[in-house]
Amino acid sequence: MSATCEFQAKDYKSDLKPIWCPGCGDYSVVQGLYRALAAIGRPPHEVAFISGIGCSSRIPGYTTAYGFNTVHGRALPIAQGIKLANPDLLVLAAGGDGDGFSIGGGHIAHLIRRNIDITYIVMDNQIYGLTKGQLSPTSQKGRTTCTSPYGSLENPVNPLLYVLAYGAGFVAQASPTDLAGMAATIEEAIRYPGFAFVNVQSPCVTYGEEAQQIKGLKAISENLAAIGHNPADRLAAMDLAQHYGEKLHLGVFYKNPEPPPTYDALIRERQAQLSQGALPKERILDLFIKK
Amino acid sequence: MAARIDFAHLSLMDALDLAVLIEEEAKERYEEFAAQMDQHRTPEAAKFFRLMAVNEAKHGQELADRRSQLFGTAARTVTRAMIFDVEAPDFDEARAFMSPRQAMKAALASEVKAHAFFVAALPALKDAKVRALFEELRDEEVEHQDLVKAELAKLPPDSGLSDEDFVDEPTAQ
Protein backbone atom coordinates (compact mmCIF):
# COMPACT_ATOMS: atom_id res chain seq x y z
CA MET A 1 0.00 0.00 0.00
CA SER A 2 1.46 3.35 -0.94
CA ALA A 3 0.70 6.25 1.33
CA THR A 4 3.39 8.83 0.93
CA CYS A 5 2.35 10.22 -2.45
CA GLU A 6 -0.09 13.13 -2.40
CA PHE A 7 -3.03 12.92 -4.78
CA GLN A 8 -5.27 15.61 -6.13
CA ALA A 9 -8.91 15.37 -7.12
CA LYS A 10 -7.97 15.49 -10.82
CA ASP A 11 -5.89 12.31 -10.41
CA TYR A 12 -9.15 10.37 -9.99
CA LYS A 13 -10.89 11.95 -12.96
CA SER A 14 -10.88 9.86 -16.14
CA ASP A 15 -10.80 11.19 -19.68
CA LEU A 16 -14.32 9.92 -20.28
CA LYS A 17 -16.84 12.78 -20.38
CA PRO A 18 -20.04 12.18 -18.41
CA ILE A 19 -23.18 11.94 -20.51
CA TRP A 20 -25.58 12.78 -17.70
CA CYS A 21 -28.10 15.50 -18.44
CA PRO A 22 -26.61 18.95 -17.78
CA GLY A 23 -27.63 20.02 -14.27
CA CYS A 24 -27.84 16.42 -12.99
CA GLY A 25 -26.97 16.03 -9.32
CA ASP A 26 -24.59 13.19 -10.17
CA TYR A 27 -22.02 15.69 -11.50
CA SER A 28 -21.66 16.97 -7.96
CA VAL A 29 -21.46 13.48 -6.53
CA VAL A 30 -18.54 12.49 -8.74
CA GLN A 31 -16.83 15.78 -7.89
CA GLY A 32 -17.34 15.10 -4.16
CA LEU A 33 -15.97 11.62 -4.67
CA TYR A 34 -12.81 12.91 -6.39
CA ARG A 35 -12.24 15.22 -3.45
CA ALA A 36 -12.86 12.50 -0.89
CA LEU A 37 -10.48 10.10 -2.62
CA ALA A 38 -7.80 12.79 -2.86
CA ALA A 39 -8.16 13.43 0.87
CA ILE A 40 -7.88 9.71 1.61
CA GLY A 41 -4.81 9.56 -0.64
CA ARG A 42 -5.03 5.99 -1.92
CA PRO A 43 -3.73 5.80 -5.49
CA PRO A 44 -6.37 5.05 -8.15
CA HIS A 45 -5.01 1.57 -8.80
CA GLU A 46 -5.78 0.62 -5.19
CA VAL A 47 -9.43 1.59 -5.56
CA ALA A 48 -12.15 -0.60 -7.10
CA PHE A 49 -15.46 1.05 -7.93
CA ILE A 50 -18.42 -1.22 -8.61
CA SER A 51 -21.86 -0.19 -9.81
CA GLY A 52 -25.12 -1.63 -11.05
CA ILE A 53 -27.21 -0.21 -13.88
CA GLY A 54 -28.74 3.23 -14.20
CA CYS A 55 -27.67 6.82 -14.82
CA SER A 56 -25.71 6.99 -11.57
CA SER A 57 -24.14 3.59 -12.18
CA ARG A 58 -22.06 5.11 -14.95
CA ILE A 59 -19.94 6.75 -12.26
CA PRO A 60 -17.02 4.25 -12.15
CA GLY A 61 -16.22 5.11 -15.76
CA TYR A 62 -15.64 8.71 -14.82
CA THR A 63 -12.91 7.79 -12.36
CA THR A 64 -9.40 6.45 -12.89
CA ALA A 65 -10.01 3.69 -10.34
CA TYR A 66 -10.65 0.11 -11.40
CA GLY A 67 -14.31 -0.02 -12.30
CA PHE A 68 -16.98 -2.58 -13.04
CA ASN A 69 -20.37 -1.45 -14.34
CA THR A 70 -22.10 -4.73 -13.50
CA VAL A 71 -25.70 -5.85 -13.98
CA HIS A 72 -28.86 -4.34 -12.56
CA GLY A 73 -29.00 -4.62 -8.78
CA ARG A 74 -25.87 -6.73 -8.50
CA ALA A 75 -23.23 -4.18 -7.55
CA LEU A 76 -23.08 -5.34 -3.94
CA PRO A 77 -22.51 -9.10 -4.44
CA ILE A 78 -19.74 -8.35 -6.91
CA ALA A 79 -18.22 -5.69 -4.66
CA GLN A 80 -18.22 -8.22 -1.80
CA GLY A 81 -16.47 -10.81 -3.95
CA ILE A 82 -13.82 -8.30 -4.97
CA LYS A 83 -13.20 -7.20 -1.39
CA LEU A 84 -12.90 -10.77 -0.14
CA ALA A 85 -10.60 -11.78 -2.99
CA ASN A 86 -8.37 -8.74 -2.54
CA PRO A 87 -8.94 -7.20 0.91
CA ASP A 88 -6.23 -4.57 0.34
CA LEU A 89 -8.35 -2.82 -2.26
CA LEU A 90 -10.47 0.14 -1.23
CA VAL A 91 -13.86 -0.99 -2.53
CA LEU A 92 -16.65 1.44 -3.34
CA ALA A 93 -20.08 0.55 -4.65
CA ALA A 94 -22.59 2.92 -6.20
CA GLY A 95 -25.95 2.99 -7.90
CA GLY A 96 -29.37 4.51 -7.88
CA ASP A 97 -32.37 3.99 -5.64
CA GLY A 98 -33.93 1.54 -8.09
CA ASP A 99 -30.77 -0.50 -8.39
CA GLY A 100 -30.17 -0.51 -4.64
CA PHE A 101 -33.63 -0.78 -3.12
CA SER A 102 -35.71 -2.57 -5.73
CA ILE A 103 -33.97 -5.25 -7.78
CA GLY A 104 -30.88 -5.17 -5.58
CA GLY A 105 -32.69 -4.57 -2.29
CA GLY A 106 -32.10 -8.06 -0.95
CA HIS A 107 -28.35 -7.77 -1.07
CA ILE A 108 -27.96 -4.86 1.32
CA ALA A 109 -29.11 -6.83 4.37
CA HIS A 110 -26.46 -9.49 3.82
CA LEU A 111 -23.68 -7.02 3.25
CA ILE A 112 -24.63 -5.25 6.45
CA ARG A 113 -24.79 -8.41 8.57
CA ARG A 114 -21.42 -9.52 7.22
CA ASN A 115 -19.98 -6.04 7.77
CA ILE A 116 -17.62 -6.12 4.83
CA ASP A 117 -15.49 -2.99 4.53
CA ILE A 118 -17.26 -1.42 1.55
CA THR A 119 -18.66 2.09 1.11
CA TYR A 120 -21.99 2.12 -0.71
CA ILE A 121 -23.14 5.40 -2.26
CA VAL A 122 -26.72 5.53 -3.46
CA MET A 123 -27.70 8.41 -5.70
CA ASP A 124 -31.33 8.64 -4.74
CA ASN A 125 -33.43 10.62 -7.22
CA GLN A 126 -36.78 8.92 -6.56
CA ILE A 127 -37.23 7.94 -10.19
CA TYR A 128 -35.93 5.57 -12.86
CA GLY A 129 -34.23 8.22 -14.99
CA LEU A 130 -32.29 6.13 -17.48
CA THR A 131 -35.42 4.31 -18.63
CA LYS A 132 -37.35 7.58 -18.88
CA GLY A 133 -39.20 8.25 -15.70
CA GLN A 134 -40.88 5.24 -14.15
CA LEU A 135 -41.89 4.96 -10.49
CA SER A 136 -38.94 3.88 -8.32
CA PRO A 137 -38.86 2.35 -4.82
CA THR A 138 -38.24 5.75 -3.22
CA SER A 139 -40.85 7.69 -5.25
CA GLN A 140 -43.29 9.48 -3.00
CA LYS A 141 -46.82 8.13 -2.61
CA GLY A 142 -49.16 9.85 -5.06
CA ARG A 143 -46.35 10.53 -7.55
CA THR A 144 -47.53 10.66 -11.12
CA THR A 145 -45.22 8.99 -13.63
CA CYS A 146 -45.62 7.09 -16.88
CA THR A 147 -46.09 3.89 -14.85
CA SER A 148 -48.37 5.53 -12.29
CA PRO A 149 -50.50 7.85 -14.44
CA TYR A 150 -53.13 8.25 -11.69
CA GLY A 151 -50.60 8.59 -8.89
CA SER A 152 -48.66 5.97 -6.97
CA LEU A 153 -50.53 3.95 -4.35
CA GLU A 154 -47.31 2.69 -2.73
CA ASN A 155 -45.39 4.03 0.21
CA PRO A 156 -41.74 4.69 -0.59
CA VAL A 157 -38.86 2.69 0.83
CA ASN A 158 -36.98 4.69 3.46
CA PRO A 159 -33.32 3.91 2.62
CA LEU A 160 -31.98 5.39 5.85
CA LEU A 161 -34.30 3.41 8.14
CA TYR A 162 -33.73 0.31 6.01
CA VAL A 163 -29.98 0.23 6.57
CA LEU A 164 -30.18 1.42 10.17
CA ALA A 165 -32.65 -1.34 10.99
CA TYR A 166 -30.29 -3.98 9.59
CA GLY A 167 -27.51 -2.65 11.79
CA ALA A 168 -25.23 -0.73 9.44
CA GLY A 169 -22.31 0.79 11.33
CA PHE A 170 -22.15 4.00 9.32
CA VAL A 171 -25.18 5.74 7.84
CA ALA A 172 -25.12 9.22 6.36
CA GLN A 173 -26.95 11.44 3.94
CA ALA A 174 -25.56 14.08 1.60
CA SER A 175 -26.77 16.29 -1.20
CA PRO A 176 -25.40 18.57 -3.93
CA THR A 177 -26.94 21.42 -1.92
CA ASP A 178 -23.78 21.21 0.22
CA LEU A 179 -20.85 20.11 -1.92
CA ALA A 180 -18.17 20.54 0.73
CA GLY A 181 -20.32 18.61 3.20
CA MET A 182 -20.87 15.83 0.65
CA ALA A 183 -17.14 15.41 0.03
CA ALA A 184 -16.48 15.33 3.78
CA THR A 185 -19.30 12.81 4.37
CA ILE A 186 -18.06 10.48 1.61
CA GLU A 187 -14.55 10.74 3.00
CA GLU A 188 -15.75 9.87 6.50
CA ALA A 189 -17.72 6.93 5.13
CA ILE A 190 -14.66 5.57 3.32
CA ARG A 191 -12.56 5.94 6.45
CA TYR A 192 -15.08 3.99 8.54
CA PRO A 193 -13.73 0.45 9.08
CA GLY A 194 -16.74 -1.59 7.95
CA PHE A 195 -19.82 -1.25 5.80
CA ALA A 196 -20.73 2.41 5.28
CA PHE A 197 -23.81 3.75 3.56
CA VAL A 198 -24.27 7.23 2.10
CA ASN A 199 -27.64 8.19 0.66
CA VAL A 200 -27.19 11.14 -1.68
CA GLN A 201 -30.29 13.09 -2.64
CA SER A 202 -29.26 13.71 -6.21
CA PRO A 203 -31.89 15.55 -8.25
CA CYS A 204 -33.01 14.29 -11.65
CA VAL A 205 -33.34 17.43 -13.77
CA THR A 206 -35.30 15.68 -16.50
CA TYR A 207 -37.87 13.59 -14.63
CA GLY A 208 -37.60 14.91 -11.08
CA GLU A 209 -40.29 17.06 -9.56
CA GLU A 210 -39.70 20.74 -8.83
CA ALA A 211 -39.55 20.13 -5.07
CA GLN A 212 -36.74 17.64 -5.58
CA GLN A 213 -34.48 20.07 -7.42
CA ILE A 214 -31.65 21.91 -5.67
CA LYS A 215 -33.79 24.87 -4.59
CA GLY A 216 -36.48 22.60 -3.19
CA LEU A 217 -33.92 20.46 -1.39
CA LYS A 218 -32.22 23.51 0.09
CA ALA A 219 -35.53 24.62 1.52
CA ILE A 220 -35.94 21.41 3.54
CA SER A 221 -32.30 20.70 4.40
CA GLU A 222 -30.94 20.68 7.91
CA ASN A 223 -27.42 19.85 9.00
CA LEU A 224 -27.34 17.09 11.62
CA ALA A 225 -24.27 18.50 13.38
CA ALA A 226 -25.88 21.94 13.53
CA ILE A 227 -28.94 20.56 15.33
CA GLY A 228 -26.71 18.81 17.86
CA HIS A 229 -27.36 15.23 16.76
CA ASN A 230 -25.03 12.72 18.39
CA PRO A 231 -23.99 10.25 15.65
CA ALA A 232 -23.20 7.60 18.28
CA ASP A 233 -26.89 7.46 19.25
CA ARG A 234 -28.50 4.85 16.99
CA LEU A 235 -32.03 5.32 18.30
CA ALA A 236 -31.84 9.09 17.79
CA ALA A 237 -30.59 8.36 14.26
CA MET A 238 -33.62 6.13 13.60
CA ASP A 239 -35.90 8.81 14.94
CA LEU A 240 -34.43 11.40 12.57
CA ALA A 241 -34.40 8.96 9.66
CA GLN A 242 -38.18 8.72 9.88
CA HIS A 243 -38.36 12.21 8.38
CA TYR A 244 -36.95 10.97 5.06
CA GLY A 245 -38.93 12.62 2.27
CA GLU A 246 -40.13 15.50 4.45
CA LYS A 247 -36.84 16.91 5.69
CA LEU A 248 -33.38 16.59 4.22
CA HIS A 249 -31.04 15.85 7.10
CA LEU A 250 -27.43 16.12 5.98
CA GLY A 251 -24.44 14.54 7.65
CA VAL A 252 -23.83 11.43 9.70
CA PHE A 253 -26.93 9.78 11.18
CA TYR A 254 -25.06 6.96 12.83
CA LYS A 255 -21.46 5.97 13.28
CA ASN A 256 -20.77 3.01 15.52
CA PRO A 257 -18.30 4.32 18.10
CA GLU A 258 -16.91 0.82 18.56
CA PRO A 259 -16.82 -0.72 15.08
CA PRO A 260 -16.96 -4.52 15.22
CA PRO A 261 -14.38 -6.54 13.26
CA THR A 262 -15.10 -6.73 9.55
CA TYR A 263 -15.90 -9.98 7.79
CA ASP A 264 -12.73 -9.70 5.72
CA ALA A 265 -10.65 -9.35 8.91
CA LEU A 266 -12.42 -12.35 10.50
CA ILE A 267 -11.77 -14.46 7.41
CA ARG A 268 -8.08 -13.67 7.54
CA GLU A 269 -8.05 -14.55 11.24
CA ARG A 270 -9.80 -17.86 10.55
CA GLN A 271 -7.41 -18.63 7.72
CA ALA A 272 -4.46 -17.98 10.02
CA GLN A 273 -5.93 -20.31 12.68
CA LEU A 274 -6.69 -23.12 10.25
CA SER A 275 -3.37 -22.90 8.51
CA GLN A 276 -1.44 -23.60 11.74
CA GLY A 277 -0.02 -27.09 11.49
CA ALA A 278 -1.71 -27.62 8.15
CA LEU A 279 0.05 -29.36 5.33
CA PRO A 280 1.47 -27.12 2.64
CA LYS A 281 -0.68 -27.09 -0.50
CA GLU A 282 1.81 -29.12 -2.50
CA ARG A 283 1.63 -31.97 0.04
CA ILE A 284 -2.16 -32.26 0.32
CA LEU A 285 -2.18 -34.92 -2.38
CA ASP A 286 0.00 -37.09 -0.15
CA LEU A 287 -3.02 -37.63 2.13
CA PHE A 288 -4.79 -39.50 -0.66
CA ILE A 289 -1.90 -41.56 -1.89
CA LYS A 290 -1.20 -44.88 -0.20
CA LYS A 291 2.42 -45.40 0.45
CA MET B 1 -11.57 16.15 6.39
CA ALA B 2 -11.32 19.12 4.08
CA ALA B 3 -9.08 21.80 5.58
CA ARG B 4 -10.62 25.19 6.20
CA ILE B 5 -9.08 28.51 5.32
CA ASP B 6 -7.65 30.30 8.33
CA PHE B 7 -8.25 33.82 7.05
CA ALA B 8 -6.78 35.44 10.17
CA HIS B 9 -3.37 33.89 9.54
CA LEU B 10 -3.40 33.87 5.76
CA SER B 11 -0.07 35.01 4.28
CA LEU B 12 0.18 36.87 1.00
CA MET B 13 1.69 33.82 -0.68
CA ASP B 14 -1.15 31.60 0.54
CA ALA B 15 -3.70 34.20 -0.51
CA LEU B 16 -2.25 34.35 -4.02
CA ASP B 17 -2.17 30.56 -4.20
CA LEU B 18 -5.81 30.38 -3.12
CA ALA B 19 -6.75 32.95 -5.74
CA VAL B 20 -5.01 30.83 -8.39
CA LEU B 21 -6.84 27.71 -7.20
CA ILE B 22 -10.17 29.53 -7.32
CA GLU B 23 -9.52 30.51 -10.95
CA GLU B 24 -8.41 26.96 -11.78
CA GLU B 25 -11.60 25.50 -10.33
CA ALA B 26 -13.75 27.96 -12.29
CA LYS B 27 -11.83 27.24 -15.49
CA GLU B 28 -12.32 23.49 -15.07
CA ARG B 29 -16.04 23.91 -14.37
CA TYR B 30 -16.56 26.04 -17.48
CA GLU B 31 -14.70 23.43 -19.51
CA GLU B 32 -16.97 20.75 -18.06
CA PHE B 33 -20.03 22.82 -18.90
CA ALA B 34 -18.74 23.35 -22.44
CA ALA B 35 -18.25 19.58 -22.80
CA GLN B 36 -21.79 18.98 -21.51
CA MET B 37 -23.16 21.46 -24.02
CA ASP B 38 -21.21 19.78 -26.85
CA GLN B 39 -22.59 16.45 -25.71
CA HIS B 40 -26.14 17.82 -25.81
CA ARG B 41 -25.83 19.74 -29.06
CA THR B 42 -25.98 23.20 -27.53
CA PRO B 43 -23.13 24.87 -29.44
CA GLU B 44 -23.72 28.53 -28.60
CA ALA B 45 -23.70 27.94 -24.86
CA ALA B 46 -20.64 25.70 -25.31
CA LYS B 47 -18.85 28.52 -27.11
CA PHE B 48 -19.64 30.97 -24.32
CA PHE B 49 -18.52 28.58 -21.58
CA ARG B 50 -15.28 27.99 -23.46
CA LEU B 51 -14.73 31.74 -23.62
CA MET B 52 -15.26 31.93 -19.86
CA ALA B 53 -12.77 29.09 -19.35
CA VAL B 54 -10.18 31.01 -21.36
CA ASN B 55 -10.83 34.15 -19.29
CA GLU B 56 -10.49 32.27 -16.01
CA ALA B 57 -7.26 30.65 -17.24
CA LYS B 58 -5.88 34.04 -18.25
CA HIS B 59 -6.70 35.57 -14.90
CA GLY B 60 -5.29 32.56 -13.10
CA GLN B 61 -2.04 32.83 -15.06
CA GLU B 62 -1.70 36.52 -14.17
CA LEU B 63 -2.07 35.67 -10.51
CA ALA B 64 0.36 32.76 -10.81
CA ASP B 65 2.96 35.02 -12.46
CA ARG B 66 2.58 37.52 -9.65
CA ARG B 67 3.01 34.77 -7.12
CA SER B 68 6.18 33.46 -8.71
CA GLN B 69 7.65 36.98 -8.97
CA LEU B 70 7.10 37.52 -5.26
CA PHE B 71 7.73 34.08 -3.84
CA GLY B 72 9.52 32.10 -6.53
CA THR B 73 9.05 28.37 -6.28
CA ALA B 74 8.30 28.22 -2.55
CA ALA B 75 6.10 25.18 -1.83
CA ARG B 76 2.37 25.79 -1.83
CA THR B 77 0.69 25.14 1.51
CA VAL B 78 -2.94 25.68 0.53
CA THR B 79 -4.93 23.02 -1.36
CA ARG B 80 -7.98 22.70 -3.56
CA ALA B 81 -9.71 20.96 -0.67
CA MET B 82 -9.95 24.37 1.03
CA ILE B 83 -12.21 25.82 -1.63
CA PHE B 84 -15.42 24.62 -3.15
CA ASP B 85 -17.33 26.40 -5.89
CA VAL B 86 -16.08 29.90 -5.07
CA GLU B 87 -16.13 31.24 -8.63
CA ALA B 88 -17.15 28.07 -10.44
CA PRO B 89 -20.79 28.06 -11.53
CA ASP B 90 -22.98 25.62 -9.60
CA PHE B 91 -23.38 22.23 -11.29
CA ASP B 92 -27.14 22.60 -11.45
CA GLU B 93 -26.89 25.83 -13.46
CA ALA B 94 -26.32 23.86 -16.66
CA ARG B 95 -29.22 22.65 -18.75
CA ALA B 96 -29.46 20.91 -22.08
CA PHE B 97 -30.38 23.35 -24.86
CA MET B 98 -29.70 26.38 -22.68
CA SER B 99 -29.67 29.65 -24.58
CA PRO B 100 -26.67 32.00 -24.64
CA ARG B 101 -28.66 34.26 -22.33
CA GLN B 102 -29.12 31.44 -19.79
CA ALA B 103 -25.43 30.57 -20.08
CA MET B 104 -24.43 34.17 -19.42
CA LYS B 105 -26.81 34.40 -16.48
CA ALA B 106 -25.15 31.30 -14.99
CA ALA B 107 -21.76 32.98 -15.39
CA LEU B 108 -23.06 36.20 -13.88
CA ALA B 109 -24.39 34.30 -10.85
CA SER B 110 -20.95 32.76 -10.32
CA GLU B 111 -19.25 36.18 -10.48
CA VAL B 112 -21.72 37.44 -7.87
CA LYS B 113 -20.92 34.40 -5.74
CA ALA B 114 -17.17 35.04 -5.98
CA HIS B 115 -17.66 38.69 -5.02
CA ALA B 116 -19.63 37.57 -1.96
CA PHE B 117 -16.79 35.20 -1.01
CA PHE B 118 -14.17 37.98 -0.98
CA VAL B 119 -16.52 40.39 0.81
CA ALA B 120 -17.28 37.80 3.51
CA ALA B 121 -13.57 37.04 4.03
CA LEU B 122 -12.42 40.66 4.42
CA PRO B 123 -13.37 41.22 8.09
CA ALA B 124 -11.34 38.18 9.17
CA LEU B 125 -8.12 39.21 7.41
CA LYS B 126 -5.32 40.56 9.61
CA ASP B 127 -2.47 41.03 7.12
CA ALA B 128 -2.67 44.40 5.34
CA LYS B 129 -1.20 43.03 2.09
CA VAL B 130 -3.65 40.13 2.03
CA ARG B 131 -6.48 42.54 2.69
CA ALA B 132 -5.35 44.71 -0.21
CA LEU B 133 -5.24 41.65 -2.48
CA PHE B 134 -8.72 40.53 -1.46
CA GLU B 135 -10.08 44.04 -2.02
CA GLU B 136 -8.51 44.01 -5.46
CA LEU B 137 -10.03 40.60 -6.23
CA ARG B 138 -13.39 41.72 -4.90
CA ASP B 139 -13.34 44.76 -7.20
CA GLU B 140 -12.31 42.63 -10.14
CA GLU B 141 -15.37 40.47 -9.62
CA VAL B 142 -17.50 43.58 -10.03
CA GLU B 143 -15.66 44.33 -13.29
CA HIS B 144 -16.29 40.78 -14.46
CA GLN B 145 -19.97 41.14 -13.63
CA ASP B 146 -20.06 44.32 -15.71
CA LEU B 147 -18.41 42.53 -18.63
CA VAL B 148 -20.96 39.72 -18.54
CA LYS B 149 -23.79 42.23 -18.20
CA ALA B 150 -22.45 44.07 -21.27
CA GLU B 151 -22.44 40.81 -23.23
CA LEU B 152 -25.97 40.09 -22.04
CA ALA B 153 -27.10 43.51 -23.24
CA LYS B 154 -25.81 42.73 -26.75
CA LEU B 155 -28.11 39.74 -27.07
CA PRO B 156 -31.40 40.08 -28.89
CA PRO B 157 -34.42 40.13 -26.56
CA ASP B 158 -35.78 36.83 -25.31
CA SER B 159 -38.25 35.08 -27.58
CA GLY B 160 -40.42 34.42 -24.56
CA LEU B 161 -40.31 30.71 -25.33
CA SER B 162 -39.03 28.21 -22.83
CA ASP B 163 -37.37 24.83 -23.43
CA GLU B 164 -40.74 23.23 -22.83
CA ASP B 165 -42.08 24.96 -25.93
CA PHE B 166 -39.76 23.28 -28.38
CA VAL B 167 -38.14 20.30 -26.71
CA ASP B 168 -40.09 17.09 -27.06
CA GLU B 169 -41.59 15.82 -23.87
CA PRO B 170 -39.66 12.71 -22.75
CA THR B 171 -41.66 9.63 -23.64
CA ALA B 172 -42.00 6.33 -21.87
CA GLN B 173 -40.65 3.21 -23.52
Residue A278 has a pLDDT of 82
At B35 the pLDDT is 93
Q: Which of B79, B84, B173 lies closest to A180 in CB terms?
A: B84
Q: pLDDT (tens digit, 9 = 90+) per residue, B80-99?
A: 888 888 999 998 999 989 99
Q: Return the domain boundaries, chain A.
A: 9-288
CATH class of A9-288: alpha beta
| More confident site: A207 or B165 | A207
pTM confidence score: 0.88
Q: For residue A135, what is the nearest residue in chain B, using CA coordinates?
A: B172
**B162 pLDDT higher than 90:** no
Predicted local confidence at residue A277, as pLDDT:
80
Which of A23, A38, A207 is opposite residue B95, by nearest beta carbon?
A23
- Residue B136 or residue B160, greater confidence: B136
Q: From chain B, which residues contact A within 8 Å (Cβ)?
A: 1-2, 28, 32-33, 35-37, 39-40, 42, 79-81, 84-85, 90-96, 98, 170-173
Give residue B163's pLDDT band: very low, low, confident or very high (50, 70, 90): low
Rounded average pLDDT over A250-270: 96
Q: Is the ipTM reported for this complex over the cut 0.90?
A: no
* Maximum alpha-carbon separation in chain B: 63
Say which of B1, B80, B91 has its CB closest to residue A28: B91
Q: Which residue has the higher pLDDT, A69 or A1?
A: A69
Structure confidence at residue B166 (pLDDT): 62
User: Quick one: pLDDT band at residue A188, thresholds 50, 70, 90?
Assistant: very high
Q: Which domains does chain B have, with CATH numbers?
A: 7-76+88-155 (1.20.1260.10)
pLDDT bucket at B134, cuts 50 / 70 / 90? very high
Given a cut of 80, is residue A219 above it in pLDDT? yes
B170 pLDDT tier (thresholds 50, 70, 90): low
Q: Do A206 and B93 touch (CB under 8 A)?
A: no
pLDDT at position B172: 54
Distance from CA of B76 to the nearest CA of A (A): 13
Q: What is the mean pLDDT of chain A?
A: 94
DSSP for chain A?
A: ---SS---GGGGB-SPPP-SPTT-THHHHHHHHHHHHHHHT--GGGEEEEE-SSSGGGGGGGBSSEEEE-STT-HHHHHHHHHHH-TTSEEEEEEEHHIIIIITHHHHHHHHHHT-SEEEEEEE-SSBTTTTSB--TTPPTT--BTTBTT---SPPP-HHHHHHHTT-SEEEEE-TTSHHHHHHHHHHHHHSSS-EEEEEE---TTTS-GGGSHHHHHHHEEETTTTT--TT-HHHHHHHHTTBTTBEEEEEEEE-SSPPPPHHHHHHHHHHHHHTTPPPGGGGGGGGS--
How far is the C-alpha of A37 from the C-alpha of A39, rounded, in Å? 5
Instruction: Indicate whether B167 pLDDT > 80.
Output: no
Mean pLDDT computed over B149-154: 93
A281 confidence band (pLDDT: 50, 70, 90): confident
A214 and B90: CB-CB below 8 Å? Answer: yes
Which pLDDT does position A275 carry in this prediction? 84
pLDDT tens digits for range A126-182: 999 999 999 999 999 999 999 999 999 999 999 999 999 999 999 999 999 998 899
pLDDT in tens, A49-96: 999 999 999 999 999 999 999 999 999 999 999 999 999 999 999 999
Mean pLDDT, rounded, of chain B = 90
Chain B residues in contact with A21 by the CB 8 A cut-off are: 40, 96
